[in-house]
Amino acid sequence: MEANPVFRVRNLNFYYGKFLALSKIEMDIQPRRVTALIGPSGCGKSTFLRCLNRMNDTIPGARLEGQILLNGQDIYAREFNVTALRQRVGMVFQKPNPFPQSVYDNVAFGPRVLGLARRRAELDEIVERSLRAAALWDEVKDQLKQNALGFSLGQQQRICIARAIAVRPEVILFDESTSALDPIATGQIEDLIAELKRDYTIVIVTHNMQQAGRVSDFTGLFWLGELVEFGPTEQIFTRPQKELTDAYLTGKMG
């Protein structure tokens, strides 16, 4: 294990009202690695993912106990800046959700709001760099003024990835981000994730165990709100320590 995890999660309980959705979660998320969260529907994977950038804050009655430290800072401390957190921890959702604007304006949105570019040339550079990082530049460089909604779902998802990258996050969260895509587009996103981990820490939620095996360095199995097992992906898939993990991976459970 590396010495300084990006996220340290300690004794995490999360409630929707009185319902305990996550119980006693402990996890270290390593820098510039892909961490996959697997498990059946409704087991807490996406809830946990959304705890990492406080997306659950908007849900009435939602409540968290325990600690999530981002590079040593408690992101649930009263003084922690949530807007800054969302810049540092970007998110790509299950269904592509580009704004009904041009490709350029989608990618430029965050940098404009945050004042990351003072001149148009700087903004142009950010847009190009982000689209290149999302493996999309060559496909859209002559169509930057076209509405992002006019592109294929796979291209829309990569536009959303470029939009997340444009504000220079430390972490990118992918919540079932290939489940709405065809196999070719899914493969493109998986290849992209492998490239992005050179510069970013990545956490993915996936129902696709083969995908977790292909793209991740670490895997955690969630079951009924608990983290059953967590470790290097190769070990989890070939030498699981818990019977439930083995049963889930072999299709006997879930």
In a domain, 110, yes or no: yes
pLDDT exceeds cutoff 50 at 170: yes
In a domain, 1, yes or no: no
Number of domains comprising the chain: 1
3-class DSSP string for 103-172: HHHHHHHHHHHHCCCCCHHHHHHHHHHHHHHCCCHHHHCCCCCCEHHHCCHHHHHHHHHHHHHCCCCCEE
CB 167 within 8 A of CB 87: yes
CA distance 221 to 218: 10
pLDDT digits 0-9 by tens, 19-39: 999 999 999 999 999 999 999
In a domain, 175, yes or no: yes
In a domain, 20, yes or no: yes
In a domain, 171, yes or no: yes
In a domain, 173, yes or no: yes
Q: What is the pLDDT of residue 140?
A: 97
Q: What mean pLDDT comes out for the span 44-69? A: 96
pLDDT digits 0-9 by tens, 80-95: 999 999 999 999 999 9
DSSP notation for 1-31: --SS-SEEEEEEEEEETTEEEEEEEEEEE-T
In a domain, 2, yes or no: no
Q: What is the pLDDT of residue 3?
A: 59
pLDDT exceeds cutoff 70 at 202: yes
Maximum CA extent, the chain: 58
pLDDT digits 0-9 by tens, 114-164: 999 989 999 999 999 999 999 999 999 999 999 999 999 999 999 999 999
Structure tokens at 30: 């390593």
Structure tokens at 9: 């999660």
Q: Which domain holds residue 220?
A: 7-249
The CATH number linked to 208 is: 3.40.50.300
Task: Return the residue matching tokens 């981990």.
Answer: 197
pLDDT exceeds cutoff 60 at 1: no
Q: Tell me the pLDDT of the chain averaged across its residues.
A: 95
Q: What is the pLDDT of residue 125?
A: 97
In a domain, 254, yes or no: no
Query: Could you tell me whether strands 34-38 and 201-205 are parallel, antiparallel, or unpaired per DSSP bridges?
Result: parallel
pLDDT exceeds cutoff 60 at 2: no
Q: What is the pLDDT of residue 209?
A: 92
Conformation bin of residue 148: beta by default, left when phi > 0, alpha when psi is -120 to 50:
alpha
pLDDT digits 0-9 by tens, 215-227: 999 999 999 999 9
251 pLDDT band (50/70/90 cuts)? Answer: confident
pLDDT digits 0-9 by tens, 172-195: 999 999 998 999 999 999 999 999
pLDDT exceeds cutoff 70 at 52: yes
